[in-house]
Chain A
Amino acid sequence: MRKKIIFFVLLFVFLILVLVGIFLKQYDLIYNFGRFICFDCIGL
Chain B
Amino acid sequence: MKKKLKLSSRRIIQILSFVIFNPYILLNPKTGKVLYQGKIKSLCVPILNCYSCPLAIGSCPLGALQQTIKISQIPYLVLGFFGTIGIFIGRYPCGNFCPFGFLQELLYKIKSFKFRVRRPFRYLKYIFLFLSFSIPFLYKEPFFCKFVCPAGTIEASLPQIIFNPALLSNVSWIFYLKVSLGISFIFFSITTKRFFCSTICPIGAIYGLFNKISLLQIKYDKNRCSKCGICNAVCPMDINIYENPKDIDCIRCFNCVKKCPHGALKISNNLKK
Contacts and interface: CB of A to CB of B under 8 A. Distances in A.
Interface of A: 3-4, 6-7, 10-11, 13-22, 24, 26-31, 33-38, 40-44
A37 B39 CA distance: 15
A2 to B, nearest CB: 11
Interface stretch (B40-48, B94-102, B122-130): B40-48
Contact of A30 (B34, B44, B50): B44
A18 B172 contact: no
Contacts, number: 150
B153 interface: yes
B270 interface: yes
Contact of B156 (A13, A28, A42): A42
Given A30-B44, A43-B171, A38 B51 contact: yes
B59 A43 contact: no
B202 interface: no
B77 A22 contact: yes
Given A20-B80, A35-B37, A40-B145, A29 B73 contact: yes
